[in-house]
Amino acid sequence: MSQLENTDPRYVRSRVKLRAAFLELAHEDPEKLTVSAICERTGIDRATFYRHFDSIDDLVADALADLADQANQQWEATSTGSGLQLPESTAIFVRYLKHVEENWRLYQWALSPKGSSKTLHALLDRSARGVAFELHKLDDTLSPDEVEFRASFASGGILGACIHWLSTEKPSCSAEELATRILDISDQRLKHVFA
């Protein structure tokens, strides 16, 4: 059974504790994250840590991807395939970006060149899944390969904009402003590139 399929309550509790400890420690100082610090914070031994994750990079990618998955699930639940759910989509995106803003140092570190490439790829994958979900609903004549291509293109832009936003010591604009800018550009891109 893979780690992701393991539903044993003890396993799930340990995994949740490890994610929570990671988020607490990362909020304090992401550059000081170690397996020892996570284990000390949770009271979980190293052997148990390594049953869940191969490394700190795996834990970072897992925890941040899980948060992105939660936002994706909310977004997919509002999706009608009409493109008319912009207010709901914007609200979900703003909530997610506010989380990023509240954990500025963590995301700045995780998505920087000295951060985790696993995290970058995990977030890119989650973003592409959300865009692909909507594209399938908007146009069911697109081939699966075309949907994946377009979703990858759009999600790269979204993540790139977020990385740019994270490139300064403090946010240059609010989560609301960033969400609006990204969605406006995405809408223009959809009209010109996805048509």
pLDDT score at 90: 78
pLDDT tier at 192, thresholds 50, 70, 90: very low
Domains with residue ranges and CATH for the chain: 3-52 (1.10.10), 56-192 (1.10.357)
pLDDT per position as a tens digit, 100-131? 998 898 899 899 888 888 999 999 999 898 88
Output the DSSP codes for 16-58. Answer: HHHHHHHHHHHHH-GGG--HHHHHHHHT--HHHHHHH-SSHHH
CB 150 within 8 A of CB 194: yes
pLDDT score at 195: 42
**Alpha carbon distance 84, 68 (integer Å):** 22
N-term to C-term CA, the chain: 43
pLDDT per position as a tens digit, 55-76? 999 999 998 998 888 888 887 7
pLDDT per position as a tens digit, 137-188? 777 888 999 999 988 998 999 999 999 999 999 899 999 999 888 888 866 5
